[in-house]
Amino acid sequence: MNVLALDLGGTKVSAAIFNSEANILWEKYGLLEGREGDDVAELMGEFIAEAIDYLGAQGSELSAVGVGVPGVAYSKSGSVYAPNIPGWENYPLKAKLTCVTPHIPIVIESDRSCYIMGEKWKGVAQNTDNAIFIAVGTGIGAGILANGQLIKGQSDIAGAIGWMALQQPYEARFDYCGCFETFASGGGLLREIKHYKEQNPGYRGYFTSPEASLNTTTLINQYKLQDEIATAILTKAVAMWGMAVANLISIFNPEKVIFGGGVFGAAQYFIDEIYEEAKKWAQPLSMQQVELLISSTGPKTGLLGAAYLAQNKL
């Protein structure tokens, strides 16, 4: 059985054909480069057509397509709410892709659901029925597996943990993406550099330089060098990552909590501190039973999960 997985991010679409053993037979990616609305779906449709042609030339065929998308994938309608992609506020993605492959099943899921199922299939959540994947990239989301079932909620929004309320008082800037995501996502960490500089005009460290590199890896490196801004921002982020983990552990009693996404990477440096912070807040029996881990499948996690969900739809 061969399935095509598509992983839609904020800047590119990744595609790969997987066989039943999770071996990649073909892969490709395309940059969005300002595409919006139908143009994004057309790029995905082109990848589907190319995958069909590739397998046909090998004397094989495509059995199903799995798609992971940022935001909300509405399982009943096949529409997608992905506000970071212009024109995708309620976009009929499944209907558009079905035009390319009317006889091939298409499964569309949130990227966070794909992440946890990728780890379940071939990562550190194998043989685990209760696990949570916390994706820290531009935003923050959680894929939640409870008693072997994906938790999606009444309208497929479950896992939007960027909206966790982790401090008082409420600030108007939380309107955009939630309290947790404001302070502890990749995008939030970088926005906090600007915010901190505005609030602390006497700061004279690394981030005052016009040549300063503004990315999370640099921020973490500056934390290790005891830069004032990096220390303040990441101390708060670690506290919030730990509190969020504690809340999830207390609610779901998982066997494993897995960190992944573009920030973890470099932020795995903090995993022990996150564990110690979580231990302060979490239900103690649940905390004793859980492992905190870093994703073992890296940038392929979303593709693996989309492929797994497509295979299990058949």
Average pLDDT in the 31-57 region?
Answer: 96
CA dist., res. 216 & res. 167, Å (int):
23
pLDDT of residue 313: 83
> Can 3-113+300-313 and 124-295 be said to share one CATH topology?
yes
Q: Which helix (H) or strand (E) holds 189?
A: helix 186-199
User: Which CATH class name applies to 3-113+300-313?
Assistant: alpha beta
pTM of model > 0.75: yes
Number of H helices and E strands in the chain, helices first, is 11, 12
Could you state, in order of their start, the residue ranges of all structural domains in the chain? 3-113+300-313, 124-295
User: Which CATH class name applies to 124-295?
Assistant: alpha beta
pLDDT per residue as tens digits for the range 269-293: 999 999 999 999 999 999 999 999 9
27 class by beta-carbon count within 10 Å (0-12 exposed, 13-18 middle, 19+ buried): middle
pLDDT of residue 157: 97
Residue 267 pLDDT level (bands cut at 50, 70, 90)? confident
